[in-house]
Amino acid sequence: MKPSVAGALASLRGKRAVLVGDLVLDAYVYGETVRVSREAPVLVVRKERTTHRLGGAANTAANLAALGLSTTMVSALGSDSSGDTTRAMLQAAQVSTEAVMTSDVATPVKTRILAGAFGTTRQQVLRIDDEPERPIGAAVQERIAEQLRKHAAHADVVVVSDYGMGAVTGAVVETVRELIARGALVCVDSRYQASAFAGATAIMPNVPEAEALAGFPLSSKDAVNRAGSEILARLKYQAVLLTQGKGGMSLFRAGMATAHVDIVGEDEVTDVTGAGDTVTATFSAALAGNIGMTNGMKLANVAAGIVVTRLGTATASPQEITAVAERAGVELEPWDASST
């Protein structure tokens, strides 16, 4: 009997994930374009409404929780309204915020302006980023590191979601290194310091990140294979899951043939925002559930294919992943259910 996607996802429920990283609040301002300004050659947008989504590591956490994992966020938020909103949204997504510290550094906010004429679909015309001008202070970093050590001791997987905004520096990086040295299952999504976590279980770079690590452009399948192999060998991760947008995903592991999957639902892409967070969460969850890396890649590919059909960051439920996987004919490899 072939293993089922539903059965694989069911095995993830209740697994414990600890996530450390940069929390971001995504704001979406919708409006109607009414005229060209007399002050400058720009559109005047009449504001209609503002909505918020979880961004950065917060989106990864929400994706883990949506898969049924008991998820604890370890990070810091500013003592501001954006921080309050982010904390409340994490809690509504069933993510524990008991290890989210309060910092004197402002909460990062990415504001997207979506506008269009009356009766048309709103399109993104501008993005405004409010990013911290300095890292979180050393004292708060120590508290984050302390909470990470505490919660990682009982976790099935530790996930690092590093957007380079200051939450994953100093003592936090050192603590992640300690966990790696102890043999903890650590999955890394790091935009700027992947080498800092050498030896971790898995890293999930996209094409620009892989190009920066490899030092050459990924303009062909051969270049992708070469980059994945070189990153794996140099940084000593157990696995490199290289995501390639419409090119699908490739999984590199030492001593094993490269595995690859093509993208699911490529004709329905609406917005790729946050798709990498979904991949990180789904692949990490699969490893926590011990259902295998290849299966993790296949499930992550399906989940990403779902969230890119939605505007802004989003999550994919087990029911949605199961339905899409069945329609796409996704087949999983057997795994040892007794060890999950």
Sign of CA dihedral 333, 337, 338, 340: positive
Please write the tens of the pLDDT for every residue from 144-168: 999 999 999 999 999 999 999 999 9
- What is the predicted pLDDT for the residue at 258? 96
Listed in sequence order, the residues at least 6 apart from 221 whose beta carbon sits closer than 8 Å to its beta carbon are none
- What is the predicted pLDDT for the residue at 182? 97
Please write the tens of the pLDDT for every residue from 116-128: 998 888 999 999 9
By CB atoms closer than 10 A (0-12, 13-18, 19+), residue 181 is exposed
pTM of the shown model: 0.94
- What is the predicted pLDDT for the residue at 339? 44
Mean residue pLDDT across the chain: 93
Mean pLDDT in residue range 195-210: 96
Q: How many residues does the chain have?
A: 340
Q: Are 306 and 316 in contact (CB under 8 A)?
A: yes
Please write the tens of the pLDDT for every residue from 46-60: 999 999 999 999 999
172 pLDDT higher than 50: yes
Q: Are 145 and 175 in contact (CB under 8 A)?
A: yes
Question: Which residue type, as a one-letter code, is found at position 283?
Answer: F
Categorise residue 248: left if φ over 0, alpha if ψ from -120 to 50, beta otherwise.
left
129 included as an active-site residue: no
- What is the predicted pLDDT for the residue at 340? 39
**Catalytic one of 222, 262, 277, 336:** 277
Supply 70's token pair.
Answer: 């008991």
Percent of the chain with pLDDT over 90: 86
Buried b (16+ CB within 10 A) or exposed e, 182-212: eebbbbbbbbeebebbeebbbbbbbbebbbe
Higher pLDDT, 1 or 108: 108
Give me the domains of the chain, ranges plus CATH numbers.
5-24+55-108+133-331 (3.40.1190.20)
